[in-house]
Amino acid sequence: MTGVTRYSGPHWRRVVATLANSDARSAYAQIVLGAKLPEVLAGMQDQRRNRALAALLGSGLVERNADDELVAPESIFRDLLAQQPRRQAQTGLARFMRLGRIERYPANKAERRELLGWIVSEAIRPGELLTEKQVNERLLSYTDDVVLLRRYMVDFGLLERTDSGSSYSRREGI
């Protein structure tokens, strides 16, 4: 289930991270609406303004044109969508996952146990004792229904709960 895909051009994570910043988002909106550089984030401290503009330039959301003005290329989102890999037939556990999260549980019990075992081995280190809240936080990376996932792990004997029910640990040998 490993394998990293490298893309050329803007990367969606960087674009989203840039847009998550309110200063960069405000500057981007102003540039999209045609504001010239002196007007963009006018009145903001230079350091803060420059950081927002640098993030926009670095992410590819804006670029400088021939006149050294900042413009928002219309192709940015089309380019990001074009980077999406075509779905290929998947084998093994990958066929039950999408973007690192459980898309569906295997109907076959052996495959379900294998999937759950892989998740336990990824999420919890051997000998680690975790509260229910800590377990839930880690399992949230794999599904929104952490209660069901945790229950499956306990039922399949992959995750052990203390007698008091206050903490969980990964079963030895997994």
Of 22, 58, 53, 18, nearest in space to 35 by CA: 53
Tokens of 74: 């219309």
18: exposed, middle or buried (Cβ count in 10 Å: 0-12, 13-18, 19+)? buried
Q: What distance lies between CA 43 and its chain's CA centroid?
A: 34
Tokens of 161: 């709960």
Query: pLDDT by residue (tens digit) across 14-64?
Result: 899 999 999 999 999 999 999 999 999 999 999 999 999 999 999 999 999
Query: pLDDT by residue (tens digit) across 92-102?
Result: 888 999 888 99
Backbone CA torsion sign across 162, 128, 126, 5? positive
